[in-house]
Chains A and B, each alone.
Chain A
């Protein structure tokens, strides 16, 4: 790793750490996100309200801070879910091959052929909006990606000498998969989690923007952007700050992902 890569990695770590802290303990950084004050509606950024106020007079800064937990939590859970489903299916398919592999691979291809946002809209509409369903929808979108990665890794591991050796020693196939192949596939899958995080974040925001995100009054960056649409000219701060938050989160994940990739 050269010097710049180290700096970028450090920056990624720092930002990710900060965001994590904000997501876990928003109370340290801002007051209540839902104290309505009609008299102070649509106030521009000021010393009292750093990011201004929204149409019901709520503090945008507080909503951005408290939105971190919702937005990042949903995306994080979704990526982990996708990793679990796709990773396990991929490892099994890659290791055992044959008909099951064929079927799963075609299924993954079929899902991957859709524009992710359209798949997200259809799934979110089917399940209905809400945090849990959003996690499921994003999980379905990204599971095939993990499937491919894990499958390729398992294919590679399956052909290695130590696996042959384990087989020769009389270990059952499942035991070999669990004990030898799995642990070797895991790092690849975890790295993929970090790489996919910014992409999933953007889809989550887009679904929120289309109204399929978490219901009010829960603060969420994508949902905030949806609310801001009607005030693009009158109160641009409503659109700018939640978007910046999304940008910073995606940037942190991207830097982190690259750093990890370079180290791997």
Chain B
């Protein structure tokens, strides 16, 4: 669907970083290439109904990390930058970005005429407030760690923001995008019950504002008339309806009660193929379904055991069983980043099943007679059950007998957070940047969290180096090296990225699916008469 372009990225960041060119305009005018192309023939008005499988717990972009939250808040809140599907961060509320030669100072010129849903105009003070709030860990934002690189934020004038870093961080622009980089009016959280208010009214700058949020039922958004992009958006309102299961979501599409849905199970596309008037779009995603191996857990402490497990798994068969093959088998990065950042699959270790080597490694590790191991799967993640059954059969062949354990998500997250993952399935997504993808998950503390207890000093070195390097070619080389290390010492086995399957009624026009799976595309959609 889209092709990442390293060359453009090189031109962009390379020039800015090395030569400290005068403020580089990254995009001009109202015809921005964000959210998808504008459509001059668009018809205005109408309410679009979206069936969603996961309801966001709340709509607070500062205190809620969940993907279900981000998926909808991107329409109401905006950051300085936008995570363009190409993999580069492009200006959104910023007009331009300039980087100092040492890579430590970022100067952003802000877009004029941006108004918050509260009616106030946006100024640099609001940006400083928002980013100071999120990076202050005592405010408890899940984004605090990502913003940890920032040393100081200055506002020389109303339309300029200068961010100084402790050490170079090439992914700062990506950090300032729409997951945690949202800008809200100054002192938003000073008010009492400010967090609660975010569930009743939005205070961002996005094309839609919140009209109603009824937990366990629906979210209604209304077009924001003072939105800064001239003539945008086309839709009058969007209604997100939470569906109790995949079957009812399909039924809603069949009965035309829903206009748009992202299938929670890509294989369900098969059930809709014969339905008249539905368009089914497929795209690679930034999500990954993985097996994680805790380096502090039982037999997994021995790297040979981890390698043997990797060598016993046939990812293709697992993907067939769990999502009917509607995805991409992975090496060591997500599908939508493979081309731009992934190590070539043939250069990675432990990707193809090799049972003889697996048995040899196990024998060498003293497990010639095989052993029992618990595999954790999370309730509510339906792909995990068939995957678990398949993997149990595959590991049986080298003498590893799996007990499948199911845990509730809350219990699982608790284990995850306390670095007690054991041998488990995982399902997570990223923004299209290797630092954001790998750093917190694999860098040892205190800089990262190393949830899998990988404890790999070489990986730490590469991760730090990748963070500080802005030259794209060099950066890519570093991350390829990191991935090779991952494939050799197996802290995780990335199984597959499920396809993003978007189903739209034929009256829905100009919807482009973003690889994050978030609803950016609705900002450019319209409804045909």
> Nearest CB to that of A124 among chain B residues?
B408
B404 touches A217 (CB 8 A): yes
> Nearest CB to that of B317 among chain A residues?
A38
Across-interface contacts of A129 in B (CB, < 8 A): 379, 406-408
A229 touches B247 (CB 8 A): yes
Q: How many angstroms from the CA of A129 to the CA of B390 in the assembled complex?
A: 21
B399 at the interface (CB under 8 A from A): no
B501 at the interface (CB under 8 A from A): no
Q: How many angstroms from the CA of A41 to the CA of B324 in the assembled complex?
A: 10
> Nearest CB to that of A213 among chain B residues?
B406
User: Which applies to chain B's interface (DSSP): helix, strand, loop or mixed?
Assistant: helix
B405 touches A215 (CB 8 A): yes
Please encode chain A, from 216 to 239, with 1 for each CB lying within 8 Å of some chain B CB and 0 for all others.
Answer: 110000000001011111100000
Pick the residue among B246, B271, B389 that contacts A216 (CB under 8 A). Answer: B389
Across-interface contacts of B377 in A (CB, < 8 A): 215-216
Across-interface contacts of B411 in A (CB, < 8 A): 125, 128
> Nearest CB to that of B390 among chain A residues?
A36
A216 touches B393 (CB 8 A): no
> Nearest CB to that of A223 among chain B residues?
B385
Across-interface contacts of A41 in B (CB, < 8 A): 324
Q: How many angstroms from the CA of A227 to the CA of B95 in the assembled complex?
A: 50
Pick the residue among A56, A130, A216, A230 that contacts B245 (CB under 8 A). Answer: A230
B380 at the interface (CB under 8 A from A): yes
B393 touches A128 (CB 8 A): no
B488 at the interface (CB under 8 A from A): no
A216 touches B247 (CB 8 A): no
CB distance from A82 to the nearest CB of B (A): 24
Q: How many angstroms from the CA of A231 to the CA of B386 in the assembled complex?
A: 15
A34 at the interface (CB under 8 A from B): yes
CB distance from B327 to the nearest CB of A (A): 15
Q: How many angstroms from the CA of A26 to the CA of B404 in the assembled complex?
A: 22
CB distance from A43 to the nearest CB of B (A): 14
A55 touches B386 (CB 8 A): yes
Across-interface contacts of A233 in B (CB, < 8 A): 247, 250-251, 254, 271
Across-interface contacts of B254 in A (CB, < 8 A): 233
A212 at the interface (CB under 8 A from B): yes
Please encode chain B, from 304 to 326, with 1 for each CB lying within 8 Å of some chain A CB and 0 for all others.
Answer: 00000000000000001100100
A56 touches B389 (CB 8 A): yes
List 14 other contacts, CB 8 Å, given A211-B406, A217-B389.
Answer: A56-B321, A125-B411, A128-B408, A128-B411, A130-B405, A130-B406, A215-B406, A216-B389, A227-B385, A229-B247, A230-B382, A233-B247, A234-B247, A234-B250
List chain B positions with a Cβ less than 8 A from chain A.
Answer: 245-247, 250-251, 254, 265, 268, 271, 320-321, 324, 377, 379-380, 382, 385-386, 388-390, 392-393, 404-408, 410-411
List chain A positions with a Cβ less than 8 A from chain B.
Answer: 34, 36, 38, 41, 55-56, 125, 128-130, 211-212, 215-217, 227, 229-234
Provide 7 A-B residue pairs closer than 8 Å at the C-beta atoms, listed in order of the A residue.
Answer: A36-B393, A125-B410, A129-B406, A130-B405, A231-B247, A233-B251, A233-B271
